[in-house]
Structure 1
Amino acid sequence: MSAPADSAASAASPAFSVVICAYTEDRWEDILAAVSSVRAQSRPALETLLVVDHNEALRERLLKEYAQGEDREQGAGREHGAGREVRVLANAGPRGLSAGRNTGIAASRGEVVAFLDDDAVAERDWLRHFAEGYADPAVVAVGGRTVPVWASGRRPDWFPEEFDWVVGCTYRGLPPGRVRVRNVLGGNASFRREAFAAAGGFATGIGRDGDRRPLGGEETELCIRLSRARPGAVLLIDDRAVIHHRVPGPREHFAYFRTRTYAEGLSKALVARSVGAQKGLESERRYATRVLPAGVVRGLRDAVLARPGGAGRAGAIVAGVLSAAGGYVLGSVRARRSGVAFSPAPVGEGAHG
């Protein structure tokens, strides 16, 4: 990647590449909406990269959607204009979100790489708020706030806000404002390019693989590695950088809640195996000992006051904790028996083709 002509201006206002990973045509309209939200930013992105996870039919369809002129012939999938360039890429690694993100990082050209879920739309000032965080050269990552958009039109009465991470959203217990954190949340996050040079990319083998494995934790593992590689690094969440994340109907049911919390336990076992339990579970201990007990008390109080769903929310918190704990125990045993270890994937300096 060529050095910017005015490095001071670049540091104050870095160029953003936005990576959106997609895997299924079932989300076609969501993918188009996600791209449109990036192209409508008040602070334009340099480019949007759509990384398709081993789905040639979807990749071809997206190439046709965004290809124009000579780019159509070359299969580069570009559409030009300020903040309007769209490139469609195939995941160059194994199936899964981590490898897809690494593909996007390697192909991107911006000083900062931002990630947006394929079933989410960003508010107009999303990138502007991210950029403000990077005015401090010590900041290497900035995340935002993710708001659920329930398919039914409203939050299920029984669904506790403390567990909104189950549906990929910001949960009760995270501090408000612009605050320093251990890790950002991957579906609404950004990193300086130098972060990947220092720590490597996302570790494959951790994280989601389409709908087949509702795992997570890949961004936590990366952020912990990054903080170790760069001890003075600052990671922030700015709750003004908002995206709206669609929650499909099946994910509003308790069966998915139970499956996802169990899978999170498995994921945390993998993260702890990779970076150690002390850092891998540092935030989770505070969450489990402070945020969740307060949530149970709140739910029981609502039940006493005859408010809808109070008992259900209290019960869901307890069930979620037990399910996650069960997944963590089993995942830890499996990891020890298999001797599995994860290495950060190397990422390139950028591909301009």
Structure 2
Amino acid sequence: MRVSVVICAYTEQRWDDVHAAVASVRAQRHAPEEIIVVVDHNPTLHARLKSALPDATVVENAEGRGLSGGKNTGVALARGDVVAFLDDDAVAAPGWLAAFAAHYGDPRVAGVGGLTLPLWPGSTPAGELVRAPVPESTGTRPRWFPEEFDWTVGCTYRGLETGAVRNLMGGNASFRREAFPLAGGFDSGIGRTFSGRPLGCEETEFCIRLRQRSPESELVYDDRAVIWHRVPPVRARFAYFRERCYAEGLSKALVTASVGTGDGLASERAHALVTLPRGALRGLRDGATGDPGGLGRAGAIGVGLAWTAWGYGVGVATARRAKARS
């Protein structure tokens, strides 16, 4: 199984992170077919990386600014049977690609995603991960930060179970190459575009669209495909947590406008109605037994749910007004 790995980069501030990501792909037990680094409309960074990474294919984003365009550019160049995506501020465990490849013997499997663990502030620096991609330290999680909301920092959240899933998380995912012409690629109107808000969901919309067009296809989550994703200090703060939840609501409104509310909110309903209440009760119980952080986690779950719902409501209302004007 030939696997092309696409890494999207955009800023010199992640110079060491990008090198650590590439080093972790080089160290895979299942050797990659190729490593493609797509630079998002940053000619200086493109020139530097092209010189520094002679064994990788370093190209400029051929589409509009943003993560969707970068991924589409990488897919268009990929030669592999499978295209895997790794965030530019993440490192993959040595068995990452092998865990992905093991599933593609089943022709029904169109995509496989893996377990993304956070590298909190104080974790192994990116410069050290260039030499040894497996981190010795994963830093310190803020005591108030609930695991049910680890998706706000691009990581796997509590409540996600292995096996068939609706969608994969974009920074740790792989798809058969033929899935892209079938689904139509990533939508440039959804996801990170550096507009000032931490938007997302381009991979969610893509996965739902793929399964709507190919209902027999399966997407699989395998927690043996491990990566570690860096959480900078600003993203470990409560202010970012709230902003990210609000932006996720806005993004979900765009997703439901594209694929419908039934598919677009199926997983979110289960998470909100089952996983989050359990998490809040767990936090209250922890607080009652002497862990003050438990009360913070319970409160953060309530705030996170409220801000996400608020963002979704604003997004839906905005779309309706735009439709009415047109």
TM-score normalised by the chain length of structure 2? 0.93
Residue 259 of structure 1: how far off its partner (Å)? 0.4
CA distance in 2, matches of 1:336, 1:94: 25
Deviations 1:122-163 (A, max 9, x none): 000100000001110110000000000101421000000000
**Is 1:87 equivalent to 2:71 in the alignment?**
no
For the residue of structure 2 that corresponds to 1:317, the secondary structure is helix
Residue 338 of structure 1: how far off its partner (Å)? 1.8
**Is 1:144 equivalent to 2:126 in the alignment?**
no
CA distance in 1, matches of 2:283, 2:48: 47
**Is 1:171 equivalent to 2:157 in the alignment?**
yes
Aligned to 1:62: 49
For the residue of structure 1 that corresponds to 2:64, the secondary structure is coil
Residue 306 of structure 1: how far off its partner (Å)? 1.1
For the residue of structure 2 that corresponds to 1:43, the secondary structure is coil
Match of 2:320 among 336, 339, 352: 336
Query: What 5-or-longer segments of structure 1 have no aligned partner?
Result: 1-13, 68-78, 80-85, 341-353
Aligned to 1:260: 244
Deviations 1:3-59 (A, max 9, x none): xxxxxxxxxxx2000000000000000000000000110000010000000111100
The runs of 4+ residues in structure 1 deviating greater than 4 Å are none
**Is 1:100 equivalent to 2:84 in the alignment?**
no
Match of 2:258 among 253, 268, 274: 274
Residue 213 of structure 1: how far off its partner (Å)? 2.6
Question: Quick check: 1:23–1:52 contact (8 Å CA) kept in 2?
Answer: yes
Aligned to 1:320: 304
Aligned to 1:197: 181
CA distance in 2, matches of 1:287, 1:93: 34
Aligned to 1:5: none
Fraction of identical pairs, as percent: 60
Match of 1:124 among 71, 94, 97: 94
Match of 2:208 among 218, 224, 231: 224
**Is 1:24 equivalent to 2:11 in the alignment?**
yes
**Is 1:38 equivalent to 2:8 in the alignment?**
no
Residue 212 of structure 1: how far off its partner (Å)? 2.8
CA distance in 1, matches of 2:36, 2:193: 19
For the residue of structure 1 that corresponds to 2:224, the secondary structure is strand
Letter in 2 for 1:44: A
Aligned to 1:300: 284
**Is 1:235 equivalent to 2:219 in the alignment?**
yes
Residues paired across the two proteins, number: 308
Deviations 1:164-212 (A, max 9, x none): 0000000000014xx0000011000000011112111000110012483
Letter in 1 for 2:218: V
For the residue of structure 2 that corresponds to 1:133, the secondary structure is coil
CA distance in 2, matches of 1:291, 1:145: 18
**Is 1:161 equivalent to 2:147 in the alignment?**
yes
**Is 1:291 equivalent to 2:278 in the alignment?**
no
Aligned to 2:126: none
Letter in 2 for 1:20: I
Match of 2:37 among 50, 57, 82: 50
Residue 93 of structure 1: how far off its partner (Å)? 0.7
Query: What 5-or-longer segments of structure 2 have no aligned partner?
Result: 123-138
For the residue of structure 2 that corresponds to 1:339, the secondary structure is helix
Letter in 1 for 2:74: G
Aligned to 2:129: none
CA distance in 1, matches of 2:17, 2:106: 34
Larger-gyration structure (1/2): 1
CA distance in 1, matches of 2:234, 2:88: 17
CA distance in 2, matches of 1:55, 1:212: 17
CA distance in 2, matches of 1:122, 1:66: 18
Residue 336 of structure 1: how far off its partner (Å)? 1.6
CA distance in 1, matches of 2:168, 2:120: 23
For the residue of structure 2 that corresponds to 1:118, the secondary structure is coil
What RMSD, in angstroms, separates the aligned Cα atoms of the two structures?
A: 1.1
CA distance in 2, matches of 1:17, 1:151: 30
Question: Quick check: 1:151–1:248 contact (8 Å CA) kept in 2?
Answer: yes
